[in-house]
Amino acid sequence: MSFKLLSVSSMYQGSLDLFYTKYPETKSLPYSEHLGLLLEDTTEFVGAYIRNFRKLAIEAECIIANDLNLQYKWGAERGLDTENKEKIIFDQVTSFLPDILLIENLSAVSSDLLKSIRRDVKNIRLIIANHCAPFNPKVLDSLKEVDFVITCTPGLKDAIEGMGKRSYLVYHGFDADLLKRLSPSAGGPKNEFIFSGSLISGGDFHSQRIKLIESLLAAHVNLDLYVNLEKRYRIMAKQSIYMLSAIIRKMKMQNLFADFRLFEYGRSWVDYYSDAIMKSKKPPVYGVDMFNLFQNSRIVLNFHIGIAGNYAGNMRMFEVTGVGSCLLTDNKQNMGDIFSSGNEVVVYDNSEDCIAKVKWLLDHDEERKRIALAGQQKTLKYHTVENRCNSIMEILENELSNMAKPK
């Protein structure tokens, strides 16, 4: 079945900053070449999926909604006198005329924009979302306007269906083409045990992850942190929101503020990072540098965010195993559906168990190597982006076929 697909996506700001430092010449490139270079260079979700959809003979394009360099360039080339971000997205959709609009960042679009697109762009047969992140009022509002949702864990699938929206489970995947771009260190991994990612306090984000890392550091585990931390003023702002929330609750006025996203941070008190974390932190890494870091580390720590609940499925699991490092990840009830615990990855139940597993792996390097190799073999056989695109293709073809059947 032939169809046109357009995705509305976003990229980590750190990745975009790295790209523009690496390619200053993009300023003089036309939009199409600029976007093409970005998609070819990036290691993020959007580039891998667009490339693999095209391999399946789908006419696929994407919008990087948070890359304002690109977005304003698109408008300027068409003589549009606007910096209205949603108006540019609307015009891009009407220009491409897709059959399927895939929203990969629901925070980038409003429900009003989706209503306008559905009303005015007659080619569109399906508006769908791929959502694997915490919910907020804007996301929930936009979610109402899509036909169904693809998500990355069984828990999120259950939550979305509990809201009355159809959902499909498609786990994240590893872009196997990345292996050609990596530079393994001579003589094997040079880092023992690392964590790379964000440590954002408050809401349904990384509070438990921060506690785990603090426990590891307190036990004098040699853990290198390549982390994105919040600025002190943001932590202070969250503390102020918590205190304001307490006053509002005391006055029994919380219903008046239920739709304010900021009050997600008012559920619990947020402390600034401990001295141990501040002393251990290194600058965050992105893109190929991040994958090189994983490949050149013996063990990589993973910890799911709060919204994942009892289910595993974040991108880090497939990124780490895909490059051949040993994944040490929090135990979840669906782990057996993805990897064999103790054979392809190592799982821990709590901080004490995590500490014990790290020490055991570092003392048994041959066994660590065996687990890492088995994990990589599983990922490259079953958990690639190519596999995931084939799964999404089956979903889309089935949905479109059902739409074509007489009622």
Task: Express each pLDDT in 128-174 by its tens digit.
Answer: 999 998 888 889 999 999 999 999 999 999 999 999 999 999 999 99
**Sheet containing 59-64, strands listed edge to edge, beginning at the edge strand earlier in sequence:** 59-64, 4-9, 100-103, 126-130, 148-151, 167-169
Select from 401, 394, 389 the least CA-distant residue to 7: 389
Give mean pLDDT, residues 189-216. 85
Beta bridge partners of 328: 301, 346
CB 137 within 8 A of CB 259: yes
Look up tokens 């590893």; give the residue. 174
Give mean pLDDT, residues 18-47. 95
In whole angstroms, give the CA distance from residue 250 to residue 253: 8
Strands (E), 271-407: 281-282, 297-302, 326-330, 346-348
* Tens-digit pLDDT profile for residues 65-88: 999 999 999 999 999 878 899 999
Which pTM value belongs to this model?
A: 0.89
Indicate the range of 29-43, 52-66, 159-173, 243-257 predicted with least confidence. Answer: 243-257
Which pairing describes strands 100-103 and 59-64: parallel, antiparallel, or unpaired?
A: unpaired
For position 256, what pLDDT does the model report?
Answer: 47
Indicate whether 205 pLDDT > 90: no
In whole angstroms, give the CA distance from residue 74 to residue 76: 6
Any idea where the domains of the chain sit in the sequence? 4-173+385-404, 176-229+275-382
CB 4 within 8 A of CB 99: yes
Distance of alpha carbon 118 from its chain centroid, rounded? Answer: 26
In whole angstroms, give the CA distance from residue 97 to residue 93: 6
Q: Phi and psi dihedrals of 322, rounded to 5?
A: -60, -35
In whole angstroms, give the CA distance from residue 39 to residue 129: 20
Indicate whether 230 pLDDT > 50: yes
Angle made by CA atoms 113, 115, 119, in degrees to the nearest 5:
120
Look up tokens 């693999």; give the residue. 52
Domain 176-229+275-382: give its CATH code. Answer: 3.40.50.2000
Which pairing describes strands 297-302 and 191-199: parallel, antiparallel, or unpaired?
A: parallel
Domain 4-173+385-404: give its CATH code. Answer: 3.40.50
Average pLDDT of the chain is 91
Give mean pLDDT, residues 111-129. 96
* Tens-digit pLDDT profile for residues 255-277: 544 455 555 555 666 777 889 99
Residue type, 375: G
